[in-house]
Amino acid sequence: MQYVYLAVSPSFVVGSDGYIYEGRGWMSVGAHTKGRNTVGCGVAFIGNYTAHLPSQYDMELLHHHLVKCGVSNGFLQNNFTILGHRQVVATTNCPGDSLYSEITTWEHYKVRRMLYLEM
């Protein structure tokens, strides 16, 4: 059986235009990590970040606006964990090598061996 998604799969998308777009939002289950969507919030960046990073402004949108909104409104716990998509889904290079390297330096990033799921 094939499914057709009628909305953006992740909870939020950081655009390369300086905006954060609501996909599934805080209150709906995302469709970004088959089998694990109920235990996290998915945030995607628009663009290819294999060789370069999103703009500093776009990364600050995530840190200083979306994350603070989630924590202050109770959608994220204070001790939330950040994982790269590739840590959960074996068949992707997402979020790109450059962005993944950057994510590993962020305060809430955790090195975790995850059960890979086929998408």
Domain at 66, CATH number: 3.40.80.10
Question: In which element (H, E) is residue 20 found?
Answer: strand 20-22
Confidence (pTM): 0.75
Give every CB contact of residue 78 below 8 A, 6+ residues apart in sequence.
71
118, pLDDT greater than 60: no
Yes or no: say if 42 and 75 are a contact pair by the CB < 8 Å rule.
Answer: no
In the numeric block, the tokens 């939330």 are attached to 80
pLDDT, one tens digit per residue, over 29-76 is 666 666 666 667 788 888 898 999 999 999 999 888 988 999 999 998
Q: Is residue 117 part of a domain?
A: no
CA distance 8 to 75: 19
Yes or no: say if 30 and 5 are a contact pair by the CB < 8 Å rule.
Answer: no
pLDDT, one tens digit per residue, over 66-102 is 889 999 999 988 888 877 777 777 777 778 889 988 9
Domain of residue 51 covers 12-103
Instruction: Tally the domains of the chain.
Output: 1
